[in-house]
Amino acid sequence: MELAYYSDYAVRLVNSEEPARGKDSLTSVEAVRDLFGGNQSAARRATDADVTRFRSVRGRLRAVFEAADHGDETLAVDLLNSLLLEFPVSPQISGHDHRDDDGRPLWHMHLADHPSNATAGYAAIAAMGLAFHLTEYGVDRLGLCEATPCRNAYLDTSTNRSRRYCSDRCATRANVAAYRARKRLEADRTASTGLAADSAQRTTASGER
């Protein structure tokens, strides 16, 4: 599996809640299972009890993104290390279902979890994927969307570390809001300049009389 696949586990879980909007999609065991994506064998282990457990892990993963967003690298790493210790995985070489043109296995690293429940398995993969991303690209590649009130988590994979939004939709919305704000400011300045000019003219006219 690709590194991005593992780290996306963390992003999907964190973004199941939008605190600023008061939205939370993680309200049922079906919602928990949906987070596993194509990993249906792991999803089937989920029970109603995992809803509360997933929410707890979600809060801890969001704290990692928040620390990174605030520039506190040490805190972000400490929080992530705590998750790694609590939810360990075993790296294994795998070639399942992946073959080259000659029919030989395409060997790659796979993270094998040994969970006591669905939450432990998901948390282990999410934490390890996020750890790989952090150590490979840097803490500043973990971001929270700047489009108010979104604040969804994202992983910055841009070549120049320029990503600021979780999606094109949020980027467009933020750009439109900034454009409108500039236009309002320009209009206010024009109006202010006009008022000042009118006042000066009246003063001059009054002096001439």
For residue 40, what pLDDT is reported?
82
pLDDT tens track for 105-141:
888 777 766 667 999 999 999 999 999 999 999 999 9
% of the chain at pLDDT higher than 70: 83
Does the structure show a pLDDT above 50 at 61?
Answer: yes
Hey, CA dihedral for 146, 149, 155, 157, is it positive or negative?
Answer: negative
Measured distance CA(69)–CA(145) in Å, rounded? 9
Which residues lie below 8 Å from residue 95, measured CB to CB, with a gap of 6+? 105, 106, 107, 108
What angle (nearest 5°) sits at the alpha carbon of residue 168, between those of residues 167 and 174? 95
The three-state secondary structure class of 165 is: coil
User: What one-character-per-residue DSSP string does 47-95 give?
Assistant: -THHHHHHHHHHHHHHHHHHHHHTT-HHHHHHHHHHHHHHS-EEEEEE-
pTM of the model: 0.78
Phi then psi for residue 174, to 5 deg, are -65, -40
